[in-house]
Structure 1
């Protein structure tokens, strides 16, 4: 683990009872959550407790991965590790950590959310280099979920701009997932030979085809499935794969020009040093890149970053002809400034609706 830091970090922030805490897993056993100050996250018998904060759709994978890791740690270190887990919308989880939810490890939907925690002085700069693959632990792409039989003939991004097509997507000002959707729309033009003016025209037409812009991806799904609004829902490929595994066969297409939805993981430096959990937190992050953990991510629909596992499960995913990244579009700082800051492109599109 030559890429792990060993320097002493700052110690700050008080413990906070979060409404987002949803469960505790201790070596695979469920225990009740409790608030208060967990002094150094130590127990009298030397056991340790760490807190993982992630976004909602990762839960199914971590419920398999965490018992594997704790069993391995117990075997190698003869020490019990308890995991407190918190799941919710990535943006909400980010705000909770900044406001005092003492995460040891954050696994969020996009690097921009992790950068916000860095800006709050809880994660040291350079966290992207602290884990393999620039700290991207798994990936996905955008999928277009249609009504049964696909009556509007949705096949590509371009179909979303057609008159009479009602599109459901969340508001990128409030939803991390919706930012991926927006970049998918814009990049489908700009990364295939179009200029910014053409990308703006296309994206504006799609946003105008959206009858509502729900606050987050979960609300978008409710609008589409429960309220019956819209002809097409922009969603994550991993979500529709997981839904199919749970018996919900959703009709969908994956555009062959697509955005690589890259999901990062990071150790929260200020908290692990406060809790005395840096070694375990770093080891856990490292474990997420092992074939064993990568297979669990793949089982719930994520595209693994481990090349061997990716080859094993390649038939599970739709082929992508042109795959672009947020970095291809200037990186998250530039993306935020250009598209999502106050007065930027999205606000101008909204004002024209």
Structure 2
């Protein structure tokens, strides 16, 4: 019996081994196939995560914001790269706010517009490029930078210019930008008009005053930056009206500047908006929204404040450094006080309105 049992055991053992071998081989192939599929998926996911396509943002802004944006943009690019593993490339365009507005409406592929006044942003919205209600999308009614009007004179102030009223004096030559192309120029006009209204004058007196002042304008430049260059570099004019921030920047560049911030002034509010139609086409909304939100952070607001813009972030605006730099204005008017941009545009800046009438009388 023993002699017959051993071969049988061997045969059974061999069959068991063969069965186990085949099962094991099958499972190994199956597991390898499954494992290989998972490995390929993992590599694809990792490749997507680590090799995201670069994204591009086109920023269109008014001239005097350039130095602030050039300090802010690299910080945002670094932050986004660290948090999202993606490179952000910026295209930037700077010029007069009115000219920039027309360029965007005519096809300049802006993703973000930072303009001198809400009226210009509204024009782009009316052209169907920005969704209605844009001003409610971000803090502070989407006002991201502010300034006031400054009155600059020559060293020693030989013409004795101390107030807005002095700009109407005979023999004064004034430099300012053209309201037809420049946002700051419209603010300058409103600062002059507001100086009469806020001190008890009526519209007839205000009209007479701005007419006299613009008769003294020797050069109308296309934007605020050109006005600064004409006054300082070319030495033309007895006085210059410009943004306070533009004057602060001139000082930071080493220019000796004699200027006054008049006690009666206008709040120059500069809005920012996403150009929805372009962003939807470019499929970059996530990063564009993140950039605009970043502009309201203390880090970005500090860069605006460094170059002369009044902070819209209270932690920056109330810091001792910037309170000393930008003392409060006693009587500060707003666009809303004067009737709002739609009414002001029709009254002052439309073709044939008051500004054109004043220019026609000069010819």
Q: What TM bracket, shorter-length normalisation?
A: 0.7 to 0.9
| Residue in 2 that maps onto 1:260 | 267
Write out per-residue CA displacement over residues 239-289 of structure 1, whole angstroms, 9 at most, x where no aligned residue.
Answer: 110111111121111101111111110000001111111111111111111
**TM-score between both structures, scaled by the size of structure 2:** 0.82
8 A contact 1:254–1:318 mirrored in 2: no
Q: Contact between 1:118 and 1:125, CA under 8 Å: does it hold in 2?
A: yes
Q: What's the counterpart of residue 10 of structure 1?
A: none
What is the CA–CA distance in structure 1 between the aligned matches of 2:225 and 2:361, rounded to whole Å? 26
Instruction: Give 1:117-266 correspondences, 5 Å limit.
Output: 117-266=124-273
Q: SS at 1:212's partner residue?
A: strand
Give the aligned length: 311
Q: Which residue of 1 aligns with 2:358?
A: 349
Deviation at 1:296, TM superposition (A): 0.5
| Secondary structure, counterpart of 1:213 in structure 2 | strand
* Aligned partner of residue 258 in structure 1, secondary structure: strand
Larger radius of gyration: 2
Does the alignment pair 1:324 with 2:325? Answer: no
Listed as ranges, the gaps of 5+ residues in structure 1 are 1-43
Using the TM superposition, give the Cα deviation of residue 46 of structure 1 relative to its aligned residue in structure 2, in angstroms.
2.5
| CA distance in 2 between partners of 1:248 and 1:256 (Å) | 24
Counterpart in 1 of 2:25?
none
Hey, what's the Cα distance between the residues in 2 that align with 1:159 and 1:208?
Answer: 13
Choose between structure 1 and 2: higher helix proportion: 2
RMSD: 1.6
The alpha carbon displacement at 1:318 in A equals: 3.5
SS in structure 2 opposite 1:149? coil
Report the CA distance shift for 1:246/1:229 in structure 2 as closer, same or farther (over 3 A): closer
Instruction: Please give the secondary structure, in 2, of the residue aligned with 1:264.
Output: strand
Compare 213-222 and 124-133 and name the one that shifted more.
Answer: 213-222
Residue deviations 1:192-243 (CA, integer Å, cap 9, x gap): 2211011111111111122333333334334323443321011110011011
Tell me if structure 1 keeps the 8 A contact 2:52–2:86: no
Determine the C-alpha separation between the residues in 2 that align with 1:173 and 1:64.
Answer: 29
Pick which of 210-219 and 91-100 moved more: 210-219
**Partner secondary structure for residue 347 of structure 2:** helix
Unaligned runs of 5+ in 2: 1-50
Matched residue SS, 1:352: helix
Describe the shift of the 1:222–1:64 C-alpha distance in structure 2 as closer, same or farther (beyond 3 A).
closer
Q: Give CA deviations for 1:10-52 in whole Å, capped at 9, x if unaligned.
A: xxxxxxxxxxxxxxxxxxxxxxxxxxxxxxxxxx733211111
SS of match in other structure, 2:222: coil
Calculate the TM-score normalised by the size of structure 1: 0.84
